Amino acid sequence: SELTHPYYSYLEAGMKVDVASIKGGQVPVDPGGLRRTAITPEDTRYLNDPALIAKVENSLPIDDVDFNQHDIIFLVGGWGAAYDLGYSEVLANKIGEAYYGPKEPLIGSVCHGA
């Protein structure tokens, strides 16, 4: 839900949404997040959405993303984020460059993405 809800909200607002991860490639999805007790309508939508599934399975490497070309940078939480995001110098540098850059994108996060 930490990915799917914002993803579909941005998409429905008419935005183009990229999915990136530290190394790129397949983003591990916590299977516990898709339990019947935790699943949301957005999660169900994801399970039937080949476009988002492809983005999650083939995420862009953070190093290849120009943060200054985005209006919003949103860091999704989850246990993987807790271990990966805070240790990535590339991510830290890119967020700093975007924050202090001329475009000043909105930067947000949720849960372990913070």
pTM: 0.88
For the domain that residue 71 is a member of, what is the CATH number?
3.40.50.880
**Mean pLDDT over the full length of the chain:** 91
Please state the rounded mean pLDDT for residues 12-39.
Answer: 86
* Structural domain boundaries enclosing 85: 4-113
> What pLDDT was estimated at residue 82?
82
Write down the H helix ranges in 19-111.
41-47, 50-57, 79-84, 89-100
pLDDT class of 107 with cuts at 50, 70, 90:
very high
Q: What is the DSSP letter of 106?
A: E
Q: How many domains does the chain have?
A: 1
pLDDT tops 90 at residue 1: no
pLDDT class of 34 with cuts at 50, 70, 90:
low
Count CB-CB contacts under 10 A for residue 29.
16
